[in-house]
Amino acid sequence: MHTTAHEQTETRRAQRAGRLAEPRWPAILAFFAVGALGLALPDQLSFGPRWLLLAIVAMFTIPAALARRRGRHRLNQQLAFIGNGLVTADLAWSLAVLVRSLPAHTLSPKQLLLVASVLWVCNVLVFASWYWRLDGGGPHARELRGTHTDGAFLFPQMLLPAGRAAGWSPGFVDYLFLAFNTSTAFSPTDVPVLSRWAKGLMMVQSSISLITIALLAARAVNIL
């Protein structure tokens, strides 16, 4: 498949800007980590075979990476959104099944602690991927602009004088830190939220974290 004229123009703009492309391996590694963590869940909490989540991650991440290397940035974004959506749905399904199974005591205390830990980490990684993919139009759009001055989140670097902030753009680790704080404190810490879609996503993430920590982990500790 050939790149479109618009995508070729964007690529030339990025090359003229002289900026190094943001490395994608942290986001790819995080996404594969979610798939690998799915292998640790009990069969009753997995939607299908336990390897299915990892297969879904590979099915969308590898073609998306190849599309980006060929300059097919729109296809890359579409595949990533579908993959993120399926993984998010799997996370919500596992959490719902776990909550529903609590009265039956089908899991031992140690299993409850393990499952709660896995779902909490997956929650952080999945929503970090969403923030990274959506903020400012995504990583490719941020690269084309050069300096990140407008987005859904107000990073501290964006408040620096123009000279010091020139060329700065958030990477995946910045969004991972944001997602970690959201799951830990149930709210943003050093990064104010400006966009309504971002506020909605953070509410969902905080709710998942609250259910996982306050209900599941606390009950497992009390049983022990």
pLDDT, tens digit (0-9, with 9 covering 90-100), for 122-169: 999 999 999 999 998 989 988 888 778 788 998 888 887 765 666 788
**4, pLDDT greater than 80:** no
52 contacts: CB under 8 Å, gap ≥ 6: 38, 46
pTM: 0.85
- Full 3-state SS string of the chain: CCCCHHHHHHHHHHHHHCCCCCCCHHHHHHHHHHHHHHHHCCHHHCCCCCCHHHHHHHHHHHHHHHHHHCCCHHHHHHHHHHHHHHHHHHHHHHHHHHHHHHHHCCCCHHHHHHHHHHHHHHHHHHHHHHHHHHHHHCHHHHHHHCCCCCCCECCHHHHCCHHHHCCCCCCHHHHHHHHHHHHHHCCCCCCCECCHHHHHHHHHHHHHHHHHHHHHHHHHHHHC
Mean pLDDT is lowest, of 54-58, 65-69, 115-119, 211-215, for 211-215
- Token pair 């001055």 in the structure block, residue: 149
**1, pLDDT greater than 50:** no
Mean of pLDDT over the chain? 84
Q: What percent of the chain has pLDDT over 90?
A: 47
pLDDT of residue 223: 60
